[in-house]
A = this chain, B = another copy of it.
């Protein structure tokens, strides 16, 4: 939050959540931690972002939810990937690859600098 604002999240979040669920059912809170662990904290997913996203995906039939018990014995809502979610995931992965490929073609050899010196 705050410190760094990518504004790039829209679209990529769903993909990462779906990918996380390919590794088995998980509840929201653990999905967040899983993603953050994977990228060493480079991305921070707000709960206020994640839960609406999960509900959206459930409404679209990409995931299915059911209540269960978390490792710590608390009530938790577990999400599993549906076949449609799996299909959506692979489409998104393809789109992501095409999109980032296109952007880097546009950006050419423009090099990521340190943090901000001039080209």
Contact A40 B106 (CB under 8 A): no
The winner among A6, A16, A93, A108 for most chain B CB atoms within 10 A is: A6
Query: Which residues on B sit within 8 Å (CB–CB) of A22?
Result: 110, 119
| Interface residue? A113 (CB, 8 A) | yes
Query: Which residues on B sit within 8 Å (CB–CB) of A93?
Result: 107, 110-113
| Interface residue? A96 (CB, 8 A) | yes
Q: Which of A1-49 touch B at CB < 8 Å?
A: 4-12, 15-16, 19-20, 22, 35, 38-40, 42-43
Contact A5 B92 (CB under 8 A): yes
A interface size (C-beta, 8 A) = 51
Residue of B nearest to A9 (CB): B8
How many identical subunits does the complex contain? 2
Q: How far is the CA of A17 from the CA of B12 in the complex (A)?
A: 22
Contacts A115-B94, A116-B94 given; indicate if A8 touches B105 (C-beta within 8 A).
no
- The contact of A38 among B91, B96, B106, B119, by CB within 8 Å, is B106
Contact B6 A107 (CB under 8 A): no
Contact A116 B100 (CB under 8 A): no
